[in-house]
Amino acid sequence: MVKANLHFLDLKDSYLFSTVREKTEAYMKAHPEKEVLKLGVGDVTLPLVPAVIDALEKASAEMGDIKTFRGYPPEGGYAFLKKAIIENDYAERGVKIDDDELFVSDGAKCDTGNIVDIFGPDNTVLVADPVYPVYVDTNIMSGRKIKYVNGTAENGFCPEPPDFPADMIYICSPNNPTGAAMDAKKLGRWVAYAKKHGAVILFDSAYEAYINDPSLPHSIYEIEGAKDCAIEFRSFSKTAGFTGVRCGYSVVPKTLKAENGVSLNALWARRHATKYNGTPYIVQRAAEAVYSDEGKKQIKANIDYYMSNAAVIRKTLSDLGLTVFGGENAPYIWFRCPFGMTSWEFFDYLLEKVQVAGTPGSGFGAMGEGYFRLTSFGSKEITEKALERISSLSFR
Amino acid sequence: MVKANLHFLDLKDSYLFSTVREKTEAYMKAHPEKEVLKLGVGDVTLPLVPAVIDALEKASAEMGDIKTFRGYPPEGGYAFLKKAIIENDYAERGVKIDDDELFVSDGAKCDTGNIVDIFGPDNTVLVADPVYPVYVDTNIMSGRKIKYVNGTAENGFCPEPPDFPADMIYICSPNNPTGAAMDAKKLGRWVAYAKKHGAVILFDSAYEAYINDPSLPHSIYEIEGAKDCAIEFRSFSKTAGFTGVRCGYSVVPKTLKAENGVSLNALWARRHATKYNGTPYIVQRAAEAVYSDEGKKQIKANIDYYMSNAAVIRKTLSDLGLTVFGGENAPYIWFRCPFGMTSWEFFDYLLEKVQVAGTPGSGFGAMGEGYFRLTSFGSKEITEKALERISSLSFR
């Protein structure tokens, strides 16, 4: 008889966002006269920029003409997009990436999920708690043992490498959910740790476009030696509002080897060729437009818009005497709940007192308990209104 | 040290299409004065139909307006597309599929590849040789044992269930590469076999739009009892020329259980939620347009165009005295090579004698040796010219 993958039964049901939604809806139903402001979602709200829309419309028209129609895309991405990525995201920062080290995809969530295919089941996985749940769940599904390092207020939610070994290390910087961004020194210590143990770093830099501090690295490959020990994931979702367009990419250097010298680049290329059929042509043209002069300007304006929301959130919460992290090089603001409240107690408190819905930190792991996340992806009006209401409260 | 998934090393390198390309290019280089006609590719050549282009352009414009912008799509697909699929592809054929049994994706290759995630490693896989390589390769990658049943001229390349048990059974009908389509009786015997052994049928009906014979089933769920033992995969790639647009879907009935009563629907839903982030909004609107009155008419015209190519190929080869399969309810024509030639010998013969490039059947498995595939996806002009040249040869 057919047997299911029983590792799925080890997954915890992820009630975080559904419970947030249910609680919020229940409150709205009980208090129809109150306006609830939502600063919990991680989805963007500004539309695609004109340069991207132009590219989408132009590419759509091409698909309707026999002379310009395109069928199956190359599994790893069209040369025009790969060139734009390599030049803008890497060469400009002094990093050399070859064409066949880059794999265009339908997003970083898919890539960080699918990458587990190329690793054996006996690797030990290391993640920093609090954590983006995909890293944990995809490894539980494939039966790997997971160890944790703790993000705390003391280490600024950027933990140091531990004194025990690991084989696969997930790092998200700038971080979801804490908004913390690692500097080159700290990343260097992680690269040294990975090289010492023959481990691979799975570096998720989906939020790099939100880095303001010019001293911070945008790519792990800015760290000496990282091409021997790291895979990088990027996404157009938060950079260019592509959450509903679906485009991202991964970099797997050819110098990266697993035990017995197995090339992880060759395995990932084979995985793409066998289980993926390429990113839509129109989407790749849209992503290419992100790198045009007009596109860059327009996208910068959107990121500035979100980051001015982040500044408002950060300043208001700090002025109220709360301990605040993130929001300077990331779209997420992470803070300690007042009065020693748990994350869910503070969720209820904020909803009932001022009708603002955020995200309880405990949903991202044990170390998130007692913390809370707000996002800067709402509109300026909603964000300012929500923070005005919050500043009417006293947390001292 | 990090360990790779060593099952990847058990994969055979798939040289089929690259060898076809290399041999064709070498010939063209050596004979620049000759025009080579290609009837080997499985990709479509007609552009997207106007109804689809209109939908793409309208949806693109919506993404540029803050009032109509859409972020993250629902992982399983938008309600508007699910409704169109359920009504047109299932309800109209008397099959009841619930909304939460249907999962919209970026294509049937991805779905048939990713589905292996929800099955345990100890299942025995059964495939019919010749075979679409994805079924085999994705199971080798995840370390499963594969058994074969043989497609032969005697069984019309539609083999009967074997006398040994299996747990996961791949069936592609209408078939790639042989073009054979199973009737309800034969499919019924496979459903009975699956139920007897508690197996799951993975039914790939990516080519159902090419069925002409009204007595043939388009969905496995037209067979009594199949909802207890079958998963179905569909694609817009060949139906509507979406090879470069990327949209497909899978159906996993809630009544389908693995050992110990584990719900495969729940596992697949969790896989989608964890490792996939939804199909682009613009793509789902394009797929919805396939089901509009205009869309249906326009797509039917394209399929008729390809099928009249298939008829030309089929008739010409039959008239030459060759033993021909497929091409009546499928876009592929499969035939025995003349004079006892191997598949590659005939490839060279056809290229050198009349400058036509096809696909050697041996590339699809041992049972394909001595057979050859031509496709109907070329233009009418190229197809007719190629077949005129072939009919100048004598195979008797």
Taking the C-alpha atoms of residue A189 and residue A203, their distance in angstroms, rounded to an integer, is 14
Phi, psi of A55 (to 5 degrees): -65, -40
d(CA A304, CA A365): 30
Structural domain contains residue B396: no
Rounded alpha-carbon distances, angstroms, from residue B200 to A332, B27, B76, B182, B255: 44, 45, 21, 18, 12
- Residue to substitute from A60, A268, A285, interface B, most B β-carbons within 10 A: A60
In a domain, A349, yes or no: yes
State which of A269, A292, A315 marks the end of a domain.
A292
Question: Which CATH number covers residue B349?
Answer: 3.90.1150.10
Chain A residues near residue B278 by CB distance under 8 angstroms: 244, 246
- Model confidence at B41, in pLDDT bands (50, 70, 90)? confident
Instruction: Tell whether A74 is within 8 A of chain B (Cβ).
Output: no
Question: Does residue A168 belong to the interface with chain B, where contact is any CB pair within 8 Å?
Answer: yes
pLDDT tens, N- to C-terminus, chain A (396 residues):
999 999 999 998 776 888 898 999 999 999 999 999 999 878 999 999 999 999 999 999 999 999 999 999 998 999 999 999 999 999 999 999 999 999 999 999 999 999 999 999 999 999 999 999 999 999 999 999 999 999 999 999 999 999 999 999 999 999 999 999 999 999 999 999 999 999 999 999 999 999 999 999 999 999 999 999 999 999 999 999 999 999 999 999 999 999 999 999 999 999 999 999 999 999 999 999 999 999 999 999 999 999 999 999 999 999 999 999 999 999 999 999 999 999 999 999 999 999 999 999 999 999 999 999 999 999 999 999 999 999 999 998
Q: Could you give the number of structural domains in chain B?
A: 2
Cβ–Cβ gap A47/B57 under 8 Å: no
- pLDDT by residue (tens digit) across B242-274? 999 999 999 999 999 999 999 999 999 999 999
| Whether residues B161 and B268 fall in one domain | yes
**Cα of A150 to nearest chain B Cα, Å:** 22
Do B245 and B311 belong to one domain? no
Determine the distance in angstroms separating the CA of A136 from the nearest CA of chain B, rounded to an integer: 10
**Model confidence at B220: pLDDT above 90:** yes
* Final residue in a domain of this structure, among A240, A272, A292: A292
Do A194 and A284 reside in the same domain of the chain? yes
In a domain, B1, yes or no: no
B3 falls within a domain: no
| Domain coverage including residue B357 | 12-41+295-390
In a domain, B366, yes or no: yes
Residue B381 is assigned to a structural domain of this protein: yes
Round to whole Å and give the CA distance between B164 and B197: 9
Q: Is there a contact between A120 and B6 if contact means CB atoms under 8 Å apart?
A: yes
Sole residue written with tokens 């945008």: A218
B141 lies within 8 A of chain A by CB: yes
Assess whether A43 and A71 both reside in one domain.
Answer: no
Last residue of a domain, one of B291, B312, B334: B291
Taking an 8 Å cut-off on Cβ atoms, the answer to whether B1 and A53 are in contact is no
CATH code for the domain in which residue B254 is found: 3.40.640.10
Contacts of B283 in chain A (CB under 8 A): 280
Strand partners, A128: A149
Co-location of A32 and A61 in the same domain: no
One domain, residues B122 and B267: yes
How far is the C-alpha of B374 from the C-alpha of B309, rounded, in Å?
Answer: 10
Residue B262 and residue B328 in one domain: no
pTM: 0.97
Q: Are residues B266 and B329 in the same domain?
A: no
Residue B395: inside a domain: no
Strands (E), chain A: 37-38, 102-105, 124-129, 145-150, 168-172, 200-204, 230-235, 248-251, 324-326, 332-336, 356-357, 359-360, 371-375
Q: Report the alpha-carbon distance of residue B77 to residue B86 in Å, rounded.
A: 12
B245 with A282: Cβ contact below 8 A? yes
Is the domain of A285 the same as that of A189?
yes
- pLDDT of B390 over the 90 cut: yes
Does B30 contact A at CB distance below 8 Å?
A: no
- Helix, strand or coil for residue A96? coil
The whole-angstrom separation of Cα B83 and Cα B242 is 19
User: Is B253 found in the same domain as B111?
Assistant: yes
Question: What b/e string do you get for A75-94 counting C-beta neighbours within 10 Å, with b at 16 or more?
Answer: bbbbeebbbbbbeebbeeee
B44·A282 Cβ contact <8 A: no
- Distance between CA atoms of A291 and B130, rounded to whole angstroms? 45
Sort out which chain A residues have CB atoms less than 8 A from B134's CB and list them: 274-275
Same domain, A227 and A345: no
* Residues 121-140 of chain A whose Cβ lies under 8 A from any Cβ of chain B: 122-123, 133-134, 137-138
In a domain, A1, yes or no: no
Are A8 and B53 an interchain contact pair (Cβ–Cβ within 8 Å)?
no
Q: CA B173 to CA B127: how far, in whole Å?
A: 13
Q: Are A288 and A309 in the same domain?
A: no
